[in-house]
């Protein structure tokens, strides 16, 4: 019983919380990516996919276009079209 009473619940400090201030400036898609890339199941799937650098065409507005040569079912499970190294 003494062990249970001696455990102090984790309480983040202001300094710790300030590490996440940048999140308020991110778009929804960037926030989604921040959390997806930290998901251990996603990282396992990404590593297993053998993701590589894909060639792309860059448009004048900065949009990148990729030609996907095959369907990537494991990426689709995460709401993505493909896995790619950046």
pLDDT of residue 1: 46
- 34 within 8 A of 67, measured Cβ to Cβ: no
| Stronger pLDDT, 6 or 10, i.e. the higher one | 10
Q: What is the mean pLDDT of the chain?
A: 78
pLDDT at 61 over 80: yes
Residue ranges of the domains in the chain? 15-76
Task: Tell me the pLDDT tens digit for each residue of 21-46.
Answer: 888 888 998 888 888 888 899 888 88
What's the pTM value of the predicted model, to 2 decimals? 0.56
Task: Find the mean pLDDT for residues 45-56.
Answer: 79
């Amino acid at each position: 019983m003494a062990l249970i009473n001696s455990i102090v619940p984790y309480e983040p400090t202001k300094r710790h919380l300030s590490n996440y201030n940048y999140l308020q400036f991110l778009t929804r898609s960037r926030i989604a990516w921040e959390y997806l890339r930290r998901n251990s199941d996603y990282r396992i799937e990404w590593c297993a996919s053998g993701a590589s650098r894909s060639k792309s065409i860059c448009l004048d507005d900065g949009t990148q276009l990729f030609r996907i040569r095959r369907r990537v079912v494991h990426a689709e499970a995460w709401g993505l079209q493909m896995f790619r190294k950046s």
